[in-house]
């Protein structure tokens, strides 16, 4: 398809996962959650314009609103995107064990295999960091880092003025590219950046390059 115009008459449009296509995509902020549920999947298009005429698109469940694959010059305009139930809860999970019990996850393997596996592990690591700093009577200074280009690091911990970058990976199979965000962070922050860690559920600790170490969660 090339140089086409697709117009949605103004209104509310509801999208449901049972009618959507699923595909595997390795995206930076949801790398371990696959397959992705693609509400509107557009492939092999050049110069396509989608004019939604001020419509509201409402998505039900964990869905990607628009997915563009092998496309160039696609414009999407005049649309408001929302979910029937927000994907981010308005609250704080203080205990991952309680969370797993409430949603019926029976053991670590069951939790890791579900759609919430990455989020649960990241929350567990944050909880451990907060507990360790609090026990030392330190005020936790924990951040998230993301550039305008989309490069990100899951957790940044300020320790005595040094910023420790931590990537959380649900996979126990460690690859050097898992540290790419940490390396970019260290390059951008220079002397302020401390050595970084890729925390994973396996049992192997190994270097992933200068100033980056793969660290088992159990050794955190």
Q: What's the pLDDT tens digit per position in 15-70?
A: 999 889 999 988 776 667 789 999 999 999 999 999 999 999 999 988 899 999 99
Mean pLDDT of 136-143: 87
At 97 the pLDDT is 73
Taking all residues of the chain, what is their mean pLDDT, rounded to a whole number?
86
Residues of each domain in the chain carrying CATH 3.40.1350: 96-219
At 93 the pLDDT is 57
At 86 the pLDDT is 72
- CA-CA distances (angstroms) from residue 121 to 104, 193, 200? 16, 24, 9
pLDDT classification of 135: cutoffs 50, 70, 90: confident
Q: Is 118 helix (H, G, I), strand (E, B) or coil?
A: helix
Burial (CB < 10 A; 0-12, 13-18, 19+), residue 207, is: exposed
pTM: 0.54
At 54 the pLDDT is 95
At 136 the pLDDT is 86
pLDDT in tens, 81-105: 998 877 665 555 567 777 777 667 7
Whether 43 contacts 69, CB under 8 Å: yes
Tokens 């492939």 identify what position? 43
Q: What is the CATH number of domain 96-219?
A: 3.40.1350
Q: Is 39 helix (H, G, I), strand (E, B) or coil?
A: strand
Lowest-confidence pick of 7-11, 66-70, 202-206:
202-206
pLDDT classification of 183: cutoffs 50, 70, 90: very high
């Amino acid at each position: 398809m090339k140089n086409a115009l697709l117009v949605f008459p103004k209104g509310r449009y509801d999208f449901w996962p049972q009618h959507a296509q699923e595909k595997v995509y390795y995206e930076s902020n949801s790398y371990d959650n696959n397959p992705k549920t693609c509400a509107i999947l557009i492939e092999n298009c050049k110069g396509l314009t989608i004019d939604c005429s001020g419509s509201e698109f409402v998505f039900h469940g964990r869905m990607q609103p628009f997915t563009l694959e092998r496309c160039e010059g696609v414009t999407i305009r005049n649309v408001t995107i929302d979910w029937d139930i927000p994907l981010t809860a308005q609250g704080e999970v203080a205990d991952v064990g309680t969370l797993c019990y409430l949603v019926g996850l029976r053991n670590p393997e069951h939790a890791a295999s579900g759609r919430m596996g990455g989020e649960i592990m990241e929350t567990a690591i944050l909880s451990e960091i907060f507990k360790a700093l609090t026990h030392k009577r330190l005020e936790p200074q924990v951040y998230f880092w993301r550039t305008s280009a989309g490069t990100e690091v899951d957790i940044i911990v300020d320790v005595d003025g040094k910023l420790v970058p931590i990537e959380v990976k649900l996979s126990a199979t460690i690859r050097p590219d898992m540290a790419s965000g940490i390396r970019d962070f260290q390059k951008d922050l220079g002397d302020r950046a401390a050595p970084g860690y890729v925390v994973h559920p396996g049992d192997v600790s190994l270097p992933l390059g200068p100033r980056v170490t793969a660290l088992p969660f159990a050794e955190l």
